Structure 1
């Protein structure tokens, strides 16, 4: 109890000392780290464009499926096994992974467009706003303040994965399906904060691998986007649970794979 009380007291003191000037206070982030973050977010934006292109290719040619899922995982494995000095090759592999990922969630996007095209735009804007807000919160917070959440979030991800695995084999109720969606959304929003601080901390320690860091944030963004989109689509078409469950399986596999090999 003393640990909890001291934690909340420190948070309260921190909140009382908050001022508008703190929004412009990036003194804890060195110029080198700031440059690194610019590279990370620029790479992330390019990956999102490539992912959108992959989704568009699926809508035109119906290429999304198990092959693009394995292509995405294979591209990530190839990227992580490539030495950091082969920068162009690693960037190309990141774009390829994003392209395959976009094609893999193409069926879900295609379904959303059939129901209402505005659903896709709303889900993307919601994901972008959440990503921007929580990333900024992580940058403005004290160093390592949120890193302790990593273990808790990893446990939550494991619970979600095994719960989904069990429900796929033994069958699951609508309540479990909704729990996976909303709790999974909460877990990956938390990962946005933890991963942003982890990237900053690693950069302070000399790890300036912006391609790998952009891949980590891309996985977080994709997981949040898919869940918001599934929530919006399931509200309109509750009977599409099988397809939506398949998209959940894909994002769980991608997230677990990425976290096991980038940490």
Structure 2
């Protein structure tokens, strides 16, 4: 039975190979060269379309984050720069932690992080005006997104090992993690700045 299955599989791959190797006999050289250009351009167009989706997402994220940046930077523009610097350091540290750990050590975190994110959303909807809940949600959101950096980094590496090399979508995953961390850090620095002002006053 196993031998029959292996023979049938070999026949399938052999037929596929013959389809491609027989093309030079079926098509003239000019036609083959033209089709190479056509399919090469098609692949490039599809790649550009995916890049356009990523740039479109970046644009929408920028529109969404812009008002927060304007609000935070209205009193002290250095908060935005400090938040960006802290985010880069945090993102880099958690990325290196994921890369230096065992290749699948943190892949189990996916379900836990998604569940925690759902609980965070429900909590913020139940008590949106409580300052204690707001503070807990911000810190928990920051911790969850740091966890996603670790998880997504190892997930991307594992997908690459299995042949999934869609670098555009993988970039989007980490981009979303970075932006979320940046938002939370900005809010925390803004809250700290306001507390310091109240103490001085």
For the aligned pair, the TM-score class normalised by the smaller chain equals 0.7 to 0.9
Mark the CA change 1:84 to 1:147 in structure 2 (over 3 Å): closer, same or farther. farther
The answer to whether the Cα contact below 8 Å between 1:84 and 1:90 also exists between their aligned partners in 2 is no
The answer to whether the Cα contact below 8 Å between 1:115 and 1:236 also exists between their aligned partners in 2 is no
Residue 149 (1) aligns with residue 109 (2): yes
- Cα RMSD after superposing both structures: 1.8
Match of 2:170 in 1: 213
Residue 167 (1) aligns with residue 167 (2): no
TM-score (normalised: structure 1): 0.56
Q: 2:187 aligns with which of 230, 250, 261?
A: 230
Match of 2:47 in 1: 87
Q: 1:128 aligns with which of 65, 83, 88?
A: 88
Residue 194 (1) aligns with residue 148 (2): no
Q: 2:133 aligns with which of 156, 168, 176?
A: 176
Match of 1:247 in 2: none
CA distance in 1, matches of 2:104, 2:45: 28
CA distance in 1, matches of 2:130, 2:66: 25
SS of alignment partner, residue 86 of structure 1: helix
Mark the CA change 1:209 to 1:235 in structure 2 (over 3 Å): closer, same or farther. same
Runs (5+) with no aligned partner, structure 2: 1-42, 196-201
CA distance in 2, matches of 1:166, 1:214: 33
1:27-106 maps to which residues of 2 (within 5 A)?
86-106=46-66
Moved over 3 A (4+): none
Please report how far the alpha carbon of residue 165 of structure 1 lies from its aligned counterpart in structure 2 after TM superposition.
2.0
Query: Which is greater in Rg?
Result: 2
The answer to whether the Cα contact below 8 Å between 1:113 and 1:120 also exists between their aligned partners in 2 is yes
CA distance in 1, matches of 2:85, 2:56: 23
TM-score (normalised: structure 2): 0.72
Alignment size in residue pairs? 153
CA distance in 1, matches of 2:89, 2:148: 15
Runs (5+) with no aligned partner, structure 1: 1-82, 239-263
Q: 2:100 aligns with which of 140, 152, 158?
A: 140
